[in-house]
Amino acid sequence: MAALDLFGRRWNLRIIWELHHGPVGFRALRERCDNMSSSVLRQRLTELLDAALVEQHPDTTYALTDLGHGAFRALRPLTRWSTNWAATLNPEDPH
């Protein structure tokens, strides 16, 4: 249940998605997340840091931990499903 609560919080999955390519600074991460408010991003990063899914490097960038990468891999089936779902809802969209 704790994992469902964590992943169910708005923005947490998006942050994991955005960090799966590699370390990102706070400002760049905020921009990638549709310019969410700084206070919400700080709160979500704190939650993900406490859950050991994200770490902050000495250069202040944020990155996924091994557990965070595992969470991202676990989301791949959902990503495939969402692509099919989007295609069903909008069959004329080439993406």
Residue 75 covered by a domain = yes
Residue 55 covered by a domain = yes
Residue 94 covered by a domain = no
Residue 58 sits in a domain whose CATH number is 1.10.10.10
Residue 57 covered by a domain = yes
1-22 pLDDT, tens digit each: 888 899 889 999 999 999 999 9
Residue 51 covered by a domain = yes
Buried b (16+ CB within 10 A) or exposed e, 2-13: eeeebbeeebbb
The number of domains in the chain is: 1
Give the pLDDT band of residue 94 (cuts 50, 70, 90).
low
Residue 89 covered by a domain = no
Domain of 30 in residue numbering reads as 2-84
> Within 10 Å of residue 26's Cβ, how many Cβ atoms?
15
Rounded to whole angstroms, the Cα distance separating 68 from 62 reads 11
pLDDT value at position 95? Answer: 58
Residue 95 covered by a domain = no
Residue 7 covered by a domain = yes
13-62 pLDDT, tens digit each: 999 999 999 999 999 999 999 999 999 999 999 999 999 999 999 999 99
